[in-house]
Chains A and B, each alone.
Chain A
Amino acid sequence: EVQLVQSGAEVKKPGESLKISCRVSGYNFTNWWIGWVRQMPGKGLEWMGIIYPGDSDTRYSPSFQGQVTISADKSISTAYLQWSSLKASDTAMYYCGRLSGNYLPRWFDPWGQGTLVTVSS
């Protein structure tokens, strides 16, 4: 069974750094794209970016380029989303998902359970 398990909820202060994770099991991690999606409180889903763990090819939405860093560790089948300096506006639920399909856009299936990030002074 394909599973994506995300790290737990985080409460941080503005200016702090953070790295959340998405550990996968049930398939070859290096052969599938993984993506990250943001949902701010009361808002819709936003496509943030994706990574191909096999060669670390990474693509970002223009809205998130330079704001976050997506990475992956093949040795432990885990993808990461990180911030160097959090802002209050980064408060959101973050989901990871495996991407399938050979054409654009690839679809997310399955998804992780989500990681709630709260940034407050």
Chain B
Amino acid sequence: QSVLTQPPSVSGAPGQRVTISCTGSSSNIGAGYDVHWYQHLPGTAPKLLIYGDNNRPSGVPDRFSGSKSGTSASLAITGLQAEDEADYYCQSYDSSLSGSLFGGGTKLTVL
């Protein structure tokens, strides 16, 4: 089990809103460390979606947004599109491990 826990899968219909959670603890997200989010389509390089909890890199649609509260972070995707079907990963830092780590990943299915 990952130190950063994500739901294995989420789904939604086109146009709907989905959220993906990333639950940590007091040694990582709860300690105030930044959370980043990536989109990963099979066979391609992962893509940065959100950095520093809630910042979008240039070129990422504003349909993607990030938030953080307590020991958890969330990625929200509004106006779901078929092209959003991918795996999504959160990343943070853990002081107990003295290193960065990824969540276990969440597969998003667009129905």
Interface size class on chain B is: 20 to 34
Q: Is the CB of B33 within 8 A of A111?
A: no
**Contacting residue for B33 out of A46, A47, A61, A104, CB 8 A:** A104
For residue A60, which residue of chain B has the nearest CB? Answer: B99
CB contact list, A74-114 vs B, under 8 A: 95, 97, 100-101, 103-114
B65 within 8 A of A: no
CB contacts (< 8 Å) of B45 on chain A: these are 95, 110-114
6 residue pairs of the A-B complex, CB under 8 angstroms, read A44-B89, A60-B99, A62-B99, A101-B52, A104-B100, A105-B36
Assess the A101–B51 pair: CB atoms within 8 A. Answer: yes
What residues of A have a CB within 8 angstroms of the CB of B92 in the complex? 105
Cβ contact within 8 Å between A107 and B97: no
Given A104-B33, A104-B100: A111 and B93 within 8 A (CB)? no
What residues make up the interface of B, taking CB atoms closer than 8 Å to A? 2, 33-34, 36, 38, 40, 44-48, 51-52, 57, 87, 89, 91-93, 97-105
- Minimum C-beta distance from A113 to chain B (A): 5
Residues in A with CB closer than 8 Å to B52 are 101, 103, 107
Residues of B within 8 A of A105 (CB): 33-34, 36, 91-93, 100
